[in-house]
Chain A
């Protein structure tokens, strides 16, 4: 069904004068990707899961405190952080991983590339479309959960909450880039999805546990722990959110205190640029590989 619709639309893309301009062609692909995605099960399921969990976290962490709930924003945000770090990379990685590999497996990639558009346009168009989908999904989850906060906790931390949403979008875009890179190098969807899950597991659990173990075993100094933690986009995301909320990383113990003391006001920028790097570099690499590769 979807393939049929896609084919029909591709015909229209071909006939469209828009396709001749770089962004026009890209946007046509983005729209197609977006519509395919929001009509698909994974989008609905992820959005539903994220919304329910986010609302649950907001609700539970504020129950039983009566009129004192307004002070609970920090803890709610901390609970949301945990949830975001678990769910959002999974969403973005698998969505990215399925994109090119899926087309390749279904045989539609050949058809796509036969259109009067460049490979770069196809890839970036797909990225934009999926990015739009993810942003849409996150906005629904955060929007409903903000409703719960407004009701239970009042208007405290509106700015911090908005920044939490912004950093989460950045994290999603970074993870989507990694997913696209996986997709470009994988021949089959199953391989791509497997690889995505492996990367997810590594970023969420393995690297943190590994860093914990090495910190204990090798008695790493605080600057070494901080530097290594910075490599993980999830840690960079977490620190960025906490810096934004508390204006300091003191809650993260000696390592956080070191980071706050050494980098001061520029810490938030360092962390944000780490995320931006994680977005730009894998996507650039994916574009290069996809454009260079003769394979379909």
Chain B
């Protein structure tokens, strides 16, 4: 009885809705296709509010403005919007419901032409988000993207550039996707993007000469992974809590002439991972003024890594400040430039002359760290007093001390100030404060309940009566 009434009501609503012109209006996407058909090149089409079902192909240079109320729904089939004309703008639309089968790589928006602008759209439930193939000089700005609810490996990429030079990707937010990935694309501007709960935040494959600035990458498997890409500058990015299977804040594989300045790498499994980078003779990797803090390993490198320069970085409270992947040492890299080394929070030296640099070199010789390189199973015993006991023994018995992993001849006496453009999203200490107060009142409550003579006497009289 009740369901029948409900069904009638819904039917009525559906019948009335198109008349009323509400946001729930459902129509075939051919309505929009007709609008485009009638428009002249360069026209701006204001799409009426509503849900447009089906797949759309844009083959004319027009502006498609959804004004935040137009929804394109692919109904789970193929790519939702395909742009095959130069100079198309898609703005203020919601795009959802691409196909799920990875064949054909169904996307919310696929662009195969130049000078596209994809601005302020919301993309959800799409295998790939925005896919640019041979689409140079595009602008992808302020979009919000989530993938389908699949395992991270089976999802598509939030944003993918394939052979698309000179593009701008800024202010986008990607959550629960795979990668934001750049293939064979040069001279890009990648700024102020947020990628979270995905696989690789920013992923470069054979993509050279690009600046990445002010991006915020957290809770991914890896923050930024650069592979076979040269001449890249990373400035003011923040990578935190990237702890997946790889778990790197920044990973570099065979990359030449990389400049990494003013970034924060916080609470990742590994802060910086270097795999044979730089790989060409004569090229360098520069790490300057980065905050590398609270990671399990601050800097991890394959034993053949060489010619990296580290200066004025802050290595703070990493479980292991620097280590090699397997046996070997980091001594073919330079840990000071122009007399300025790095700040190491575990540095036990001193600065008697007050020039801001430690008077003895920083040479970490962790016996437990050396044991870990040979016996990875022993990592079970980190964060335990037994580990401290081993380090203590090594300090007491110099013959047990391993060779230093690295040498920083002029470590900084005080941590350098590293300011990031990214502003914290106002995380207040109020809840922790409440917990503090709760714990303290629990303690005093216990004392009051258990320790007072008054209550004991009261109970006695109560018991007696």
Decide if A and B are genuine partners.
yes
A interface residues, Cβ below 8 angstroms from B: 12, 15-18, 24, 28, 30-31, 34-35, 38, 61, 64-68, 70-75, 78-79, 81-82, 85-86, 129, 132, 135-137, 139-140, 142-144, 146-147, 149-151, 153-156, 158, 161-162, 165, 204-205, 208-209, 211-212, 215-216, 220, 222, 225-226, 229, 234-235, 238, 242, 246, 250-256
* Besides A74-B267, A135-B443, A150-B432, 20 other A-B contacts (C-beta < 8 A): A12-B460, A18-B459, A35-B451, A65-B291, A65-B415, A68-B418, A71-B293, A75-B293, A140-B440, A143-B440, A146-B433, A147-B433, A153-B429, A154-B427, A154-B428, A215-B377, A238-B384, A252-B379, A253-B378, A256-B380
What is the distance, in angstroms, from A136's C-beta to the closest C-beta of chain B?
5
Q: Are B317 and A18 in contact (CB under 8 A)?
A: no
Q: Are A139 and B442 in contact (CB under 8 A)?
A: yes
Interface centre among A34, A68, A73, A216, by most chain B C-beta atoms within 10 angstroms, is A68
B27 at the interface (CB under 8 A from A): no
Q: Are B385 and A155 in contact (CB under 8 A)?
A: no
Chain A: which residue is nearest B389 at the CB level?
Answer: A205
Q: Write 21 A-B pairs (CB below 8 A) sorted by A numbering.
A: A34-B451, A64-B316, A68-B418, A71-B240, A71-B241, A71-B293, A72-B294, A136-B446, A136-B447, A139-B440, A139-B446, A143-B443, A146-B433, A146-B436, A146-B439, A150-B432, A154-B432, A155-B430, A216-B375, A253-B379, A255-B380
B interface residues, Cβ below 8 angstroms from A: 240-241, 243, 247, 264, 266-267, 269, 291, 293-294, 296, 314, 316-319, 343, 345, 372, 375-386, 388-390, 414-415, 417-420, 424, 427-433, 435-440, 442-443, 446-447, 450-451, 456, 459-460, 463-464
Partner pick for A155 among B266, B428, B442, CB 8 A cutoff: B428
Q: Known contacts A38-B447, A147-B433, A204-B385; is A68 also within 8 Å of B264 by CB?
A: yes
Q: Are A209 and B266 in contact (CB under 8 A)?
A: no
What is the distance, in angstroms, from B302's C-beta to the closest C-beta of chain A?
18
CA of A74 to CA of B268, assembled, Å: 10
Q: Are B432 and A153 in contact (CB under 8 A)?
A: yes
Partner pick for A252 among B247, B318, B380, CB 8 A cutoff: B380
CA of A135 to CA of B447, assembled, Å: 10
Q: Are B317 and A72 in contact (CB under 8 A)?
A: yes
CA of A154 to CA of B430, assembled, Å: 7
CA of A31 to CA of B449, assembled, Å: 9
Partner pick for B463 among A17, A142, A153, A211, CB 8 A cutoff: A17
Partner pick for A136 among B435, B443, B463, CB 8 A cutoff: B443
What is the distance, in angstroms, from B322's C-beta to the closest C-beta of chain A?
16
CA of A192 to CA of B41, assembled, Å: 92
Partner pick for A146 among B428, B432, B446, CB 8 A cutoff: B432
Contacts of B291 in A (CB 8 A): 65, 68
What are the nearest 4 A-B pairs in CB distance? A253-B379, A143-B439, A208-B386, A150-B429
Contacts of A250 in B (CB 8 A): 243, 247, 269
Contacts of A30 in B (CB 8 A): 450
Q: Are B386 and A64 in contact (CB under 8 A)?
A: no
Q: Are A149 and B384 in contact (CB under 8 A)?
A: no
Q: Are B296 and A66 in contact (CB under 8 A)?
A: no
What is the distance, in angstroms, from A19's C-beta to the closest C-beta of chain B?
9
Q: Known contacts A38-B451, A208-B381; is A72 also within 8 Å of B267 by CB?
A: yes
Q: Are A71 and B267 in contact (CB under 8 A)?
A: yes
Q: Are B377 and A74 in contact (CB under 8 A)?
A: no
Chain A: which residue is nearest B417 at the CB level?
Answer: A66
Q: Are B386 and A205 in contact (CB under 8 A)?
A: yes
CA of A151 to CA of B432, assembled, Å: 9
Chain B: which residue is nearest A234 at the CB level?
Answer: B384
Q: Are B424 and A70 in contact (CB under 8 A)?
A: yes
Interface centre among B375, B381, B420, B438, by most chain A C-beta atoms within 10 angstroms, is B381
CA of A235 to CA of B243, assembled, Å: 22
Q: Are A132 and B429 in contact (CB under 8 A)?
A: no
Interface centre among B247, B291, B296, B439, by most chain A C-beta atoms within 10 angstroms, is B439
What is the distance, in angstroms, from B439's C-beta to the closest C-beta of chain A?
3
CA of A29 to CA of B317, assembled, Å: 46
CA of A137 to CA of B419, assembled, Å: 39
Contacts of B343 in A (CB 8 A): 64
Chain A: which residue is nearest B433 at the CB level?
Answer: A150
Contacts of A208 in B (CB 8 A): 381, 384-386
Chain B: which residue is nearest A210 at the CB level?
Answer: B386
Chain A: which residue is nearest B462 at the CB level?
Answer: A18
Contacts of B415 in A (CB 8 A): 64-65
Q: Are A78 and B381 in contact (CB under 8 A)?
A: no
Interface centre among A208, A234, A246, by most chain B C-beta atoms within 10 angstroms, is A208
Contacts of A161 in B (CB 8 A): 432, 435
Q: Are A255 and B377 in contact (CB under 8 A)?
A: yes
Contacts of B459 in A (CB 8 A): 18
Contacts of B267 in A (CB 8 A): 71-75
Q: Are A149 and B429 in contact (CB under 8 A)?
A: yes
CA of A208 to CA of B437, assembled, Å: 36
What is the distance, in angstroms, from A56's C-beta to the closest C-beta of chain B?
13
Q: Are B383 and A35 in contact (CB under 8 A)?
A: no
Q: Are A71 and B266 in contact (CB under 8 A)?
A: yes
CA of A250 to CA of B241, assembled, Å: 13
Contacts of A205 in B (CB 8 A): 385-386, 389
Chain B: which residue is nearest A211 at the CB level?
Answer: B381
Chain B: which residue is nearest A204 at the CB level?
Answer: B385
Q: Are A253 and B376 in contact (CB under 8 A)?
A: yes
Q: Known contacts A78-B383, A154-B428, A251-B382; is A64 also within 8 Å of B377 by CB?
A: no
What is the distance, in angstroms, from B207's C-beta to the closest C-beta of chain A?
29
Contacts of A251 in B (CB 8 A): 243, 269, 296, 379, 382
What is the distance, in angstroms, from B266's C-beta to the closest C-beta of chain A?
4
Contacts of A72 in B (CB 8 A): 266-267, 293-294, 317
Contacts of B431 in A (CB 8 A): 155, 158
Q: Are B432 and A235 in contact (CB under 8 A)?
A: no
Q: Are A132 and B433 in contact (CB under 8 A)?
A: no
CA of A286 to CA of B321, assembled, Å: 46
Q: Known contacts A72-B267, A150-B432; is A16 also within 8 Å of B427 by CB?
A: no
